[in-house]
Amino acid sequence: MLRPRTALFLVAGVLFAVLQSGCMRTPSAATAMPDTRALDEKAIRDSEAAWVKAFATKEPEKAAAFYADDAASMLPDTPLMTSRKAIVAGMKPELGDPNFSLVFAPTKVEISKSRDIAYSQGTFKYTTTDPKTKKRVGQAGNYVEVYKKQADGTWKVEADIATEETPLHVLRRGE
């Protein structure tokens, strides 16, 4: 037989455990976060379309607004740029080129289950002036953008990675 004091502690412990388990919430369909991945995918696709338009303005600050402050840009024939400030500085000569043009579009967008990280991959076409020959040249390739959802719900690029499929080559009329 238990001593009264031991029995009291046992009853108090059981009562505490019952009360504690009743206070713990288990996730239910009503409290689970809604799956917004389809909306997030659309937001990223729309953002990339807007980004192409920003590049068309040839204003580095507008084009760089899609990057997170600590973003990294890894592009063909270009040194690594780590920060939005460095990316703006790296864009200035390119965007100042009268032949500059950059068009890209995602072929795939994936959102993480946690809905805070995403990536897109797609193709790009780039036009510029060859500094040696002064001729209009172009390049095509593939890219991957790594996105992070910001506190305000927007998506910003954390890593911009591109590979060339065709090296820079002199463009013919209409190309």
pLDDT at 3: 52
Q: Does 15 score more than 70 pLDDT?
A: no
CATH architecture of 37-170: Roll (3.10)
Q: What is the pLDDT of residues 21-72, one digit of tens each?
A: 444 454 445 567 889 999 999 999 999 999 999 999 999 999 999 999 999 9
Quote the strand ranges of 34-96, DSSP E. Answer: 67-74, 81-82
Q: What is the pLDDT of residues 147-161, one digit of tens each?
A: 999 999 999 999 999
Residue type, 149: K
Domain ranges of the chain: 37-170
Q: Give the pLDDT band of residue 10 (cuts 50, 70, 90).
A: very low
Tokens coding 131: 């500094």
pLDDT at 41: 98
The better pLDDT of the pair 22, 168 is held by 168
Q: Is 107 exposed, middle or buried (0-12, 13-18, 19+ CB in 10 A)?
A: exposed
Q: Could you count the other beta carbons within 10 Å of the beta carbon of residue 87?
A: 21
pLDDT at 45: 98
Q: What phi and psi, each to the nearest 5 degrees, are found at residue 45?
A: -60, -45
Facing residues of 126 across strands? 102, 139
Q: Could you count the other beta carbons within 10 Å of the beta carbon of residue 76?
A: 13
pLDDT at 8: 39
